[in-house]
Amino acid sequence: MPTRELMVDELGSGERLDVWLSREVEGLSRSAAQRLVASGSVLLNGAACVGKSCRLALGDRVLAMLPDDEGSAGQSSLAPADIPLDVRYEEGGVVVLSKQAGLVCHPSPGHEDDTLANALVARYGAAHLGMLQGEERPGIVHRLDRDTTGLMLCARTDEAQGALQDLIRLRELDRRYAVLVQGYVAPETGLIDVGIARSRRDRQRMVASDGERAREAITTFTTLERFEAGARDDGYSLLECHLYTGRTHQIRVHMAHINHPVVGDPVYGQGDARKNLGLARQFLHSWRLSFENPETAERLSFADSLPEDLADVLVELEDRSLGRTQRGALLVPALLGDATALREVVDLGLAGEVDRV
């Protein structure tokens, strides 16, 4: 049984032991970390700490006695679920799909057997999915919020899963999101470099913070189109956001932080339904992915136009447009489903020129 000896830094101070351990040990799921702690397999400063309330302090030493596969169960026990998947690419261990709104990525309270992970088990079989994220997250490489749509990566082998996660860590996976926000965004481009931490008041919310508990979070954006103010709103701006890190709710938190919350966001947005243009979810869509397939070294590029509910919002706003930026002139037609524009965007991604207009 392999062991890992770790020291708690400033970011871990005050965190629960199992939560911290699942983040620090690659491939160890939250549930697996909880089982290790409960079984006495984790020592805190030389003593077992089996309670869930165990909190860490700066400088604490943690000795974890891990399973031989460091948390991977080898095969998921999740029940398969007959949920349709819009798969765009399958080659070796690499899968690219477009996630629909309302689909949770992996089991959580209230969603035990109706998640993307369950759908992956149904499609590929539990024995044919990467398990580095733990038995509750078979095939999952990264996550999208339940009501965020669009492109995401999955993996059918441990090797592919690890290699794809490395692309994210090394910032070699180019992820672009289409976002409609409240208000007039004046800059053509912008950088938001503000850490994100979990709220102390509401554990379901994240907050922008420069405190010691915050984790680095970097988002850049390019303005594509602006829409004039109406009688009941301050106008809108369509942005393309580029993630350099992947924190929980990152874009939604960062946009709210600069006082341009995402339209329709039920957590960080504006509660006035009239300002949300009839949307029952956030206007946030993962629309472009570009990366090198780690198994074949082939450059891959994908573009996914907006789903109908989000496209309808842009059509509704058309008469209020203040004009598209130079970049918006290329990207907005692709977002709205123009086949020629989509092909051009994909080709730019294949050439590694995703930022060139």
The predicted structure's pLDDT at residue 83: 96
Domains identified in the chain and CATH numbers: 3-65 (3.10.290.10), 86-169 (3.30.2350.10), 174-350 (3.30.2350.10)
CA dihedral 332, 338, 344, 347 (to 10 degrees): 110
The predicted structure's pLDDT at residue 255: 98
Find the mean pLDDT for residues 351-357: 75
**pTM value?**
0.80
Least confident interval from 150-164, 195-209, 250-264, 275-289? 195-209
Residue 161 contacts residue 95 (beta carbons within 8 Å): no
pLDDT at 229 exceeding the cut of 70 = yes
pLDDT tens digits, one per residue of 319-331: 999 999 999 999 9
Q: List, in order, residues 6 or more apart from 95 with CB less than 8 Å away.
A: 87, 89, 139, 153, 154, 155, 156
pLDDT at 257 exceeding the cut of 60 = yes
The predicted structure's pLDDT at residue 74: 52
When the pLDDT of each residue in the chain is averaged and rounded to a whole number, the result is: 90
Cα–Cα distance for residue pair 185/67, rounded to 1 Å: 50
Alpha helices in 242-323 (DSSP H): 250-257, 308-317
Q: Which contacts of 349-356 are long-range, i.e. CB under 8 A and separated by 24 or more positions?
A: 349/174, 349/288, 349/289, 349/290, 349/299, 349/301, 349/302, 349/303, 350/290, 350/299, 350/300, 350/301, 352/290, 352/299, 354/174, 354/176, 354/288, 354/290, 354/301
Query: Between 258 and 51, whose confidence is greater?
Result: 258
Q: Is position 145 annotated as part of the catalytic site? A: yes
The predicted structure's pLDDT at residue 38: 81
What does DSSP assign to residue 139? T
Least confident interval from 200-204, 299-303, 339-343? 200-204
Query: Between 133 and 219, whose confidence is greater?
Result: 219
Least confident interval from 71-80, 184-193, 238-247, 289-298? 71-80
pLDDT-derived band at 352 (thresholds 50, 70, 90) equals confident
pLDDT-derived band at 201 (thresholds 50, 70, 90) equals confident
Of 18, 60, 145, 147, the catalytic one is: 145
Least confident interval from 38-52, 282-296, 298-312? 38-52
The predicted structure's pLDDT at residue 306: 98
Find the mean pLDDT for residues 96-112: 91
The predicted structure's pLDDT at residue 71: 41
